[in-house]
Structure 1
């Protein structure tokens, strides 16, 4: 797979707590230069970044991040605020405690509520696979499908593990028609990126792919 084809599937990401505007601006510059699917940045930078990029790259942000245990009303407000500030895509974190408690209707309602706020804008649902059993992952494939979200996403990158090939294979078998897959967390090589795409991922949340390309450009290998 050609590098430029892989980049079309990358959400170029910087969500570290200490991220500065200078670092966010560099992420935006790189996203526009390398034509990534989006740049994924903290909500507080959306307005500034949206004004800066002027449509040259899509702006993605995170909601209920990284723990997911905020109220649905809080997440809905966060989503509305992000969209008003210029976000094009929303990555929300589910309430994992609700999943453990089998409060499936509450989770579905929350996802559906946020999708209603998003309208035509893309909604991705982070389920934090490293904290779940396979049965819970399959249940979330069903819930995300019923709720009408656009993507199911593996991880925040802030818990005990990131995306695995096994999880993407599992998602691909159990998501419904129209639901795409995003692998995120720990994607550290072009080979891994290509493998995730081959297994069924449509998006890759990563900060490292662009760094690898820039290093290759600078060193020649």
Structure 2
């Protein structure tokens, strides 16, 4: 499965914008920088602005009526430290504040401990908030058997997207990991790629492998073909 974008032999950097989630998650972000980030998402036609939960209300106000969605992340960038009840409550709070998509870290320790019901229910508690949930599976941290279980439980929990990793600190996004998830995703479940996506060629390779969304802090550089961008690893 590949995007319809590739039915056309001429793919330009700018044509990738609708597949990119423009990401800004860092320490010490100012309000002016966050507003500018949201405005960039509109200017370049990105799929969404991915921002910390604390900035969702401000970003939602900027993006209202533009067609660009508000995305946020839970249990990230430190993955697996939030209680399930806390994660579910924060998801509800973010949706009320204007979040339209949520990416979540998962409880890798629970998975490795055989606590499969708890792992699945942790995800399902966020799904209950009523917006599409993308599950950051941290594939390089899992054995082949654990990967299969993690994918199955995420689907059972109602995940809308499977995601290879939370950031480039875990895995540089690659076509092999994307294809692995695409092959296991049933109809209605899609794949998002994330992790040090920094160039047009890399982005195209991930979309050709079947990803429909790309999470990156280098979105502007990719769509304007600035290949020497200095960016974070998200």
TM-score normalised to the size of structure 2?
0.85
- Asked whether the equivalents of residues 138 and 171 of structure 1 are also in contact (C-alpha less than 8 Å), the reply is no
Q: Which has the higher helix share?
A: 1
**Match 1:60 to one of 42, 65, 71:** 71
Stretch of structure 1 that moved more, 39-48 or 18-27: 18-27
Q: Distance in 2 between matches of 1:102 and 1:146?
A: 16
Distance 1:213 1:177 in 2: 29
Provide structure 2 residue ranges, at least 5 long, that are not aligned to the other structure. 1-10, 227-234
Report the 3-state secondary structure (helix = DSSP H, G, I; strand = E; otherwise coil) of the residue aligned with 1:8: helix
Q: Give CA deviations for 1:74-100 in whole Å, capped at 9, x if unaligned.
A: 001110111111111111111111111
Rate the CA distance shift 1:156–1:19 in 2: closer, same or farther, 3 A.
farther
Partners in 1 of 2:114 and 2:212 — Cα distance?
28
- Cα distance in structure 2, aligned partners of 1:5 and 1:134: 35
Q: 1:32 matched to which residue of 2?
A: 42
1:179-194 residue pairs with structure 2 within 5 A?
179-194=189-204
Write the distance in 1 (CA, Å) between the matches of 2:28 and 2:141. Answer: 25
Q: Counterparts of 1:27 and 1:168 in 2: how far apart (Å)?
A: 27
Q: 1:114 to 1:172 in 2, by over 3 A?
A: same
Aligned-pair CA distance for 1:170: 0.9
Q: Of residues 89, 98, 101 in structure 2, which corresponds to 1:86?
A: 98
Shift of 1:169: 1.4
Partner of 2:159: 149
Per the alignment, residue 120 of structure 2 pairs with 108
Give aligned pairs, total: 214
| Shift in CA distance, 153/29, structure 1 to aligned 2, threshold 3 Å | same
Instruction: Identify the residue that residue 231 of structure 2 maps to in structure 1.
Output: none
- Is there any run of 5+ residues in structure 1 with no aligned partner, and where? 217-221
Give the aligned partner of residue 42 of structure 1: 52
Given candidates 66, 74, 78, the residue that maps to 2:86 is 74
Give the Cα separation in 1 of the matches to 2:117 and 2:126.
14
Shift in Å at residue 144 of structure 1?
Answer: 1.6
Question: Do the aligned partners of residues 81 and 158 (structure 1) sit closer, same or farther apart at CA in structure 2, a change above 3 Å counting?
Answer: farther
Q: Give 1:214 deviation, angstroms.
A: 4.3
Name the residue aligned to 1:20.
30
Match of 1:219 in 2: none
Q: Which residue of 2 aligns with 1:196?
A: 206
Q: Report 1:202-217 matches (<5 A).
A: 202-214=212-224, 216=226
